[in-house]
Structure 1
């Protein structure tokens, strides 16, 4: 944790110093023609840039400067400084909702977007969702002979014996536990945290691991250390495709999303806002289906922008056939209640 914090601080200092230096030299006019986009790193970032950032920049005729941030607090620090180094940030849905409640972002004119194409829960006054991810159940076919079809099945250790793993984070795991306890999809929010924790405690003897990273979850099911798992769709897909004897289902999956916002006071806010709106346009969103495996576009008009094969639609988590099976995470609930829910969850799993 200390090393990570130091790396994050170094990145922020390097970025701030670099931007300040460029602004002081004549050639720095190029900075006014560019948009600095900050997001999380890894493979997901590469796909995000290829599908959304780069094509949008090309369409708008702007240059991109790519940076990595650590989390919402790092953006809060920049905004409070009065001179944020980043023009556009990619975050999780709850972070966008929380950042908006704190006044950290510039307003976006979303009236230019077809209001029927992006769900109300996937946008605010100063942020908009860009891509869906999914949380799904997966299992090893050599150990689980009958495929589970719901979280109720996942919780049923008698009918579906085997060692389980679930995420050691409250968000998504509380939703999963409530679905397992029989809460209907359309009655999930507001989350009954106490009920969810009670359900998790009932399953706890069967839980071998509370995983903490996507990479860890992927390795657990691939190596056969667990037989059933709550896992991100983007993590389990490569395991399925490499012939490891693993399957998953979108039935009762959770649809979460990444989102974009413009930090308040961003130097190139106008260009960043234009870029943000382009990124959620149907023709750009359609790139997700081709360039981001097991992610999906938020704008439903993306499916009309071009023709896709049945195989592509079957893999895309927000395709009409798969979205109907899942539940959309309410970022606003997590922005308001997340800290208390996480504290209660951590206390329960450590007992």
Structure 2
């Protein structure tokens, strides 16, 4: 496929009016072979395939397959055995930091990327030596509208009030963001959460634990639990909550005290398709694809040039929409990276006690 076709043949812009990158630059992305992308599954991965991976394959000749779930411990084993199966990961910020510390990543090729995507379009906060922003996702307070209508809990303290809000509660079975949720439920203001006092966090969790009916092991479970009406009050992912709200109206939520975490594209140090992974990153950061993704999924993206072109109703569902951003808590990935091992061991012991 010629360079002009690379620029214009994907149809990703879909009439949104975003100017494509210079056609001659995109010839840098042509190639061959395979690349394996490890993502989190669900609707977000389906959308990535449709607006990023499949058009990339068609335009460049590089075959893309996806798998799940990003796991740094597993990546470390792969590297140790000399058999890395992943070429690109959509890693949480804390996962990226941990993988960096362990020497498991290769640097991002910004010289190549910025020939495809103007540097000034990318949020400088998500440009890191070993990772570049993919998406930022939210955990929100959600509830069963059959029980509470549109008047569900508006903060985590209310969410934990079993007298006012009677129902089955579920949280993600990980210390992050359970620490933040428990502390806010105990009345700690969001701006006072960090640095977290670990003893205080477990004390708050001790108070919250008897109220939790289900600890969700995988984020993919949220949709099924909502669809089956198995839980009534959730600290669930925004994307899966919105899916169910649009599908049936049985779930509603608030952006108040939502918890936002940044993900990054990272490339394993020994990735067999590492060069192709660099090309996928450049392609995914282009304005056309970023706009197509952000117009369909409630995630912040790295290319800030597209936000004015997102349909208004979708803008209002994004964590970064000004009204929403003013109400959220941003995960402090530096704190979590510094304390990850200490917290992990204590968390496992705490969870094992029932």
TM norm. shorter chain > 0.5: yes
TM-score (norm 1): 0.78
CA-to-aligned-CA distance 1:257-276 (integer Å, 9 cap, x gap)? 33211222444544432432
Match of 2:306 among 302, 305, 325: 302
C-alpha distance 256-141 of structure 1, shift in aligned 2 (>3 A): same
Q: Tell me which residue corresponds to 2:315.
A: 313
What is the DSSP-based 3-state SS (H/G/I as helix, E as strand, rest coil) of the residue aligned with 1:143?
helix
Aligned-residue offset at 1:333: 2.8
Query: Is 1:92 aligned to 2:75, yes or no?
Result: no
Contact 1:297 1:318 survives alignment (8 Å): no
What is the DSSP-based 3-state SS (H/G/I as helix, E as strand, rest coil) of the residue aligned with 1:316?
coil
Contact 2:168 2:233 survives alignment (8 Å): yes
TM-score (norm 2): 0.77
Aligned-residue offset at 1:143: 2.0
C-alpha distance 154-102 of structure 1, shift in aligned 2 (>3 A): same
Separation in 1, partners of 2:219, 2:84: 30
CA-to-aligned-CA distance 1:90-133 (integer Å, 9 cap, x gap)? 3232222211111111112458464784263x443111220122
Separation in 1, partners of 2:291, 2:324: 16
What is the DSSP-based 3-state SS (H/G/I as helix, E as strand, rest coil) of the residue aligned with 2:170?
strand
Q: Tell me which residue corresponds to 2:244.
A: 239
Contact 2:140 2:235 survives alignment (8 Å): yes
Q: How does 1:33-182 map to 2 (within 5 A)?
A: 33-40=32-39, 42-43=41-42, 44-56=44-56, 61-68=60-67, 70=69, 71-81=71-81, 84=84, 86-110=86-110, 112=114, 114=119, 117-118=122-123, 120=125, 122-144=126-148, 146-182=151-187
Q: Tell me which residue corresponds to 2:341.
A: 339
Separation in 2, partners of 1:187, 1:110: 36
Q: Tell me which residue corresponds to 1:327.
A: 329
Separation in 2, partners of 1:287, 1:321: 22
Q: How does 1:174-323 map to 2 (within 5 A)?
A: 174-291=179-296, 293-304=297-308, 307-323=309-325
Unaligned runs of at least 5 residues, structure 1:
1-30
Aligned-residue offset at 1:55: 4.2
What is the DSSP-based 3-state SS (H/G/I as helix, E as strand, rest coil) of the residue aligned with 1:49?
helix
Contact 1:222 1:244 survives alignment (8 Å): no
Paired residues in the alignment total 316
C-alpha distance 163-298 of structure 1, shift in aligned 2 (>3 A): same
Q: Tell me which residue corresponds to 1:27.
A: none
Q: Tell me which residue corresponds to 1:17.
A: none
Contact 2:105 2:267 survives alignment (8 Å): yes
Q: Tell me which residue corresponds to 2:24.
A: none
Contact 1:171 1:338 survives alignment (8 Å): no
Aligned-residue offset at 1:196: 2.0
Contact 1:221 1:229 survives alignment (8 Å): no
Structure 1 vs Structure 2 CA RMSD: 2.9
- Farther off after superposition, 96-105 or 176-185: 176-185
C-alpha distance 180-68 of structure 1, shift in aligned 2 (>3 A): same
C-alpha distance 264-214 of structure 1, shift in aligned 2 (>3 A): closer
Contact 2:35 2:64 survives alignment (8 Å): yes
Contact 1:37 1:86 survives alignment (8 Å): yes
Contact 1:167 1:212 survives alignment (8 Å): yes
Separation in 2, partners of 1:340, 1:179: 21
Contact 1:87 1:263 survives alignment (8 Å): yes
What is the DSSP-based 3-state SS (H/G/I as helix, E as strand, rest coil) of the residue aligned with 1:226?
coil
